[in-house]
A = this chain, B = another copy of it.
Amino acid sequence: MELITLAHGAGGSLTGVLIKELFRRHFDNEFLAEAHDSARLPGIAGKLAFTTDSYVIDPLFFPGGNIGKLAVCGTVNDLAMSGARPLYLSCGFIIEEGLPVSLLESVVASMASAAGEAGVLIVAGDTKVVNRGAADKLFVNTSGIGEIPQGIDISGGNAKPGDSVIASGTLGDHGAVILVEREKLGLESPLESDCAPLCGLVADMLEACPDIRVLRDPTRGGAATALNEIAVQSQVGIEIDEETIPVRAAVRGICEILGLDPLYLANEGKLIAIVPAGKTDAVLKAMQSHPYGREAAIIGRVLPEPRGRLVLKTPYGSRRILDIMVSDSLPRIC
């Protein structure tokens, strides 16, 4: 079994082999093939969206995905949440000496596959190898560029009283899966991470309603943290109804055993949308017609008060404030 050595990251001939036989083979495109210090790409007429994320997830492979798929989907989703059509990604690998080349290749193949599904090109990359013990196996950074079509203005500050809050599907799947893997809970659960690129879903939603106010993918910190941020940025209150929030039975079970709340668990293939009340049905219908939005549901509404706060309405009619997450019970979730 061939292993990654420090020389693979030294910029010399072995780095060249890695680039040619692994990265360029899987990420094949005309821009990457130029092999310059920077990719040279066509200009972008509309507004440009730019984002970055590093991935340090443990374990590297999990039901429903791996760090590579996650890294592509995560950055594609960050672009999509600003209403952008994702175009180009870069990827930076930090590899611990001794990682099997075959493992790296599996990750790279997953990245290529996810990028293909999302319609983005991986046009720039970088590889660093650190000595044994200086990193935990593999970290991946993906940065991304997208184009925001004219007339689209999606921002955390745009929510208005009267708007509806929609979730694209069940919440907490990714967090629950990692929890099960990490804690070796050994449930016979059919759970998979929801990890998926949401740009196609967003395109369909924008076609149904170009006036979507806010989109956010509730990753670290979960839906409760994302909704808190929106409430603060828009200076509105957000009220969600506990009984309408879609949560898989298995996720609910894990949360009950461990004393966690699915609203604070990470999602990697879900989004929260805030839309004008009059467009709610049209957006919901567009979402439910898309594979990644089949279980979409209206989960709440935007109110004038309490400003900057998220309120949970329980099935019994009582209300309580859901705060932003303070500390995470689950580091390295993405």
Contact = CB atoms under 8 A, between A and B. Distances in A.
Interface of A: 6-7, 9-16, 34-56, 58, 77-79, 81-82, 84, 88, 90-94, 123-126, 128-131, 133-136, 139, 141, 143-148, 155-156, 216-217, 219-221, 225, 229, 233, 266, 323-328, 331-332
Nearest to A328: B10
B135 A134 contact: yes
B52 A41 contact: no
A56 B9 CA distance: 11
A36 B155 contact: yes
Contacts of A133: 133, 136
A196 B8 CA distance: 26
Given A12-B220, A54-B92, 6 more contacts: A10-B331, A11-B220, A38-B81, A43-B48, A52-B126, A56-B94
A39 B43 contact: no
Contacts of A35: 156, 229, 233
A88 to B, nearest CB: 6
Dominant secondary structure at the A interface: mixed
A48 B44 contact: yes
Contact of A47 (B41, B45, B148): B41
Contact of A43 (B47, B55, B81, B94): B47
A40 B34 CA distance: 28
A14 B331 contact: no
A155 B30 CA distance: 14
22 contacts: A11-B328, A13-B323, A15-B220, A35-B229, A36-B155, A38-B81, A38-B82, A38-B146, A40-B82, A41-B49, A43-B43, A43-B44, A50-B145, A52-B91, A56-B128, A94-B139, A130-B136, A134-B136, A135-B136, A139-B139, A141-B141, A143-B143
A91 to B, nearest CB: 7
A79 B217 CA distance: 30
A12 B43 contact: no
Given A7-B326, A12-B324, A38-B81, A52 B146 contact: no
Given A44-B43, A221-B11, A331-B131, A54 B324 contact: no
Contacts of A328: 6-7, 10-12
Contact of A93 (B42, B54, B81): B54
Contacts of A143: 52, 90, 92, 124, 141, 143
Contact of A37 (B55, B56, B139, B216): B216
Given A36-B156, A38-B84, A81-B36, A141 B54 contact: yes
For A7, A58, A92, the residue with the greatest tally of chain B CB atoms inside 10 Å of its CB is A92
A82 B31 CA distance: 13
Contact of A49 (B39, B91, B233): B39
Contact of A126 (B13, B53, B128, B229): B53
Contacts of A88: 50
B326 A13 contact: yes
A7 B332 CA distance: 11
A92 B38 contact: no
